[in-house]
Amino acid sequence: MRITDETVERLRTCVRPERLTETAMQLIEIPSPTRSAGAVADRLAEILRADGFLVERPVAGWSDAPAVVARWEADPGGRTLQFNGHLDTVHLPFVPPRITDGVLFGSGASDMKGGIAAAVEAMRALREAAILERGGLLLTAHDLHEALWGDGSQRTALIDEGYVGDGVLLPEYVADRLPVIGRGLAVWQVEITREGAPMHEVLGGIEQPNVIEAGAELIQRCAALDRKLAENTHPLGGRDSIFIGQVAAGEIYNQSPTSMRLAGTRRWLPGPSIAAIESELRSVVDEAIRGRDVQAHVTFQVPGEAFELASDDALVQSFQAACEIVSGQMLPPGPKPFVDDGNTFIGRGGVPAITHGPAATGAHTVDERVPVAELVRVAVTYAVTAIAFCSQDK
């Protein structure tokens, strides 16, 4: 349908800042560090039910905090736009909610309870304005997002169980660009071990297989691989890389240890498969320990896959049209600075996903803050995007 100034003004009227911030504060006031989001999920479900939305609580592999799913359909035949967010927060001291000079503070205000509240308000506004002619909305919220406390498995289970729209908006704190490309991310750990017990250097330790020497060889081989990976670049997405951020071995300076632990990341541009990337790392590890009489155990966790969105994608065009109408200009295309649930919706769910939220600050700190005006802007932008996107045939 054609979106007019009158349509947008009607939506702005239906987006109520007081209701939006009240919802955000009700979510923030319940502490929910990753793996402990059950109570706040219950609160969100209560809010949505009180608003008259149809709510489901799929376990999605995590019975401690069943996910929250809400639906609203205007009329069959159009597309379904999904709003997705995580209710868990990083493991930092809890900060209760407050509003000062038009700014919302508190644990999760930025990442991302404020954004979820804006998505809920967009659903309310669309229903009250009664101007969504076709299609419908799907809201999903879950636990287990923040690594390394969570592994993203509840989000993945929701996708596998079919809780996926035709396009997804995620209200993470990216507001200055349209993230059209993002690198995949794997967090890897290697433990190199030898048989036997720790030994004093002069009591036989110097004769033992040297796990530190093997680890040093692995570090050198990773550095060589990174130099090779650096040749694969993208003007927006950056470059492929392998990075080591942690190394640990030994209890004291003159003892031969039985293990050495290394951990880091592998980031890649769209193209190679996850299986190929993992196999490459395992080959480098095997080469580093060959002939040294040590063993290596590798773990390889993938929080998100690489992606690239086409400029002519229906969700991209609908979102950019909404930005131009609501804020006066389209967003410049750019990279996604982090990995979030959108990577998995694209890679595993097979649907376009756009990360766009309020211009918030303080994520992963005890000073999370977001202007209320930004939450309102996101709610209106989401609602207008829904009108443009959902009215199209599947």
Pairing of strands 178-182, 333-335: parallel
| CA distances, 261 to each of 34, 109, 243 (Å) | 25, 36, 14
Provide mean pLDDT across the span 144-168: 95
pLDDT of residue 198: 97
| DSSP codes, 4-20 | -HHHHHHHHHH--HHHH
Which tens digit of pLDDT belongs to each residue from 6-22? 899 999 999 999 999 99
| pLDDT above 90: percentage of residues in the chain | 94
Helix axes 113-129, 372-390, angle to 10 degrees: 50
pLDDT of residue 146: 94
DSSP code, position 201: G
Which tens digit of pLDDT belongs to each residue from 194-250? 999 999 999 999 999 999 999 999 999 999 999 999 999 999 999 999 999 999 999
Structure tokens at 219: 């570090």
When pLDDT is cut at 50, 70 and 90, the band that residue 68 belongs to is very high
When pLDDT is cut at 50, 70 and 90, the band that residue 1 belongs to is low
**Taking Cα atoms as reference points, which of 318, 355, 164, 189 lies closest to residue 259?**
189
Q: What dihedral angle (degrees, nearest 10) is formed by the CA atoms of 82, 83, 84, 85?
A: -170
Q: Contact, 181 vs 99, CB < 8 A?
A: no
Which amino acid would we find at residue 308?
Answer: E
Asked if pLDDT for residue 2 goes beyond 90, the answer is: no
| DSSP codes, 113-141 | HHHHHHHHHHHHHHHHHT---SEEEEEEE
CA distance 126 to 264: 44
Three-state DSSP at 346 gives: helix
Give the residue extent of every domain in the chain.
5-182+306-390, 184-304
CATH of range 184-304; options 3.30.70.360, 3.40.190.10, 3.40.50.2020, 1.10.287.310: 3.30.70.360
Dihedral sign, Cα of residue 372, residue 377, residue 380, residue 386: negative
Which tens digit of pLDDT belongs to each residue from 249-301? 999 999 999 999 999 999 999 999 999 999 999 999 999 999 999 999 999 99
Phi/psi at 151 (5° precision): -115, 10
Which amino acid would we find at residue 286?
Answer: D
CA distance 370 to 311: 29
Q: Work out the angle at residue 147's Cα, subtended by the Cα atoms of residues 141 and 153, and round it to the nearest 5 degrees.
A: 50
pLDDT of residue 103: 98
Dihedral sign, Cα of residue 143, residue 147, residue 149, residue 154: positive
Helix (H) or strand (E) holding 319: helix 314-327
CA distance 112 to 124: 19
| Burial state string for 177-210 with b = 16 or more CB within 10 A and e = fewer than 16 | bbbbbbbbbbbbebbbbbeeeebeeeeebeebbb
| pLDDT above 70: percentage of residues in the chain | 100
pLDDT of residue 193: 98
pLDDT of residue 75: 78
CA distance 315 to 55: 25
CATH of range 5-182+306-390; options 3.40.50.1820, 3.30.530.20, 3.40.630.10, 3.40.50.970: 3.40.630.10
Asked if pLDDT for residue 191 goes beyond 90, the answer is: yes
Which tens digit of pLDDT belongs to each residue from 310-360? 999 999 999 999 999 999 999 999 999 999 999 999 999 999 999 999 999
**Residue labelled with tokens 């040294």:** 292
**Taking Cα atoms as reference points, which of 231, 339, 242, 232 lies closest to residue 282?**
242
Q: Is the pTM of this model over 0.85?
A: yes
Provide mean pLDDT across the span 157-173: 98
Provide mean pLDDT across the span 121-128: 97
CA distance 363 to 90: 9
Helix (H) or strand (E) holding 249: strand 241-249
Asked if pLDDT for residue 133 goes beyond 90, the answer is: no
